[in-house]
Amino acid sequence: MNNLKEKKLDNKGFSLVELIIVIAIMAVLIGVLAPQYLKYVEKSRKSADEDNFQQIISAVQVYYSDPVHTLPSVTTDTNYDVTVVSGKITASSIPTEIKDACTDAGVTLENITIKSSAYQNVVLRFTVSADGTTKFTASDENLAKALAIAKH
């Protein structure tokens, strides 16, 4: 009877081999899942950046659809560019027309940070034509496709 009690006391915990096997299995799982996780993080950043660009477009469209705010009359096509350099929209790159529209809509362009590696250096262009029509274009094909606008 004493022998059985001693055996039970000796079987507590994991052996070194069992512990190494568990660690190896966890390392393999992490190695397989980490790239997927990083892909989802980048996809999330890209989606957030597309939403930021869409907010800018919506702000300008709503602002200039109000009869109180009119676009400057032009004789030739005039472009207003919002330029992203290294993930930041610089204050000097924001035309007054775009800035006013975004400020009125509550969108602060200087505080927008583009986090996706895909959109670190892009240009969002707002073009006013001589006939009074307006359109948005983007320098990046994927961004243009995501926002359903043309590429310039």
Helix axes 96-105, 16-65, angle to 10 degrees: 110
Sort strands 88-89 and 78-85 into parallel, antiparallel or unpaired.
antiparallel
In a domain, 10, yes or no: no
The whole-model pTM stands at 0.77
pLDDT at residue 9, rounded to an integer: 55
Q: Which of 34-38, 52-56, 110-114, 137-141 has the lowest mean pLDDT?
A: 110-114
In this predicted structure, the answer to whether residue 72 has a pLDDT above a threshold of 60 is yes
Q: What is the pLDDT of residue 7?
A: 56
% residues pLDDT > 90 (the chain): 47
Is the residue at 141 inside a domain? yes
What average pLDDT does this structure show over 116-123? 92
- Residue 87: domain span: 16-151
Number of domains the chain is built from:
1
Q: Is residue 104 part of a domain?
A: yes
130 in a domain, yes or no? Answer: yes
| Domain assignment of residue 64, yes or no | yes
Average pLDDT over all residues of the chain:
87
b/e map of 135-151 (b: 16 or more CB within 10 Å)? ebbbbbeebbebbebee
Cα(91)–Cα(111) distance, integer angstroms = 10
Label residue 4 by pLDDT band (50, 70, 90): low
Q: What is the mean pLDDT of residues 139-149?
A: 94
- Specify the length of the chain in residues: 152
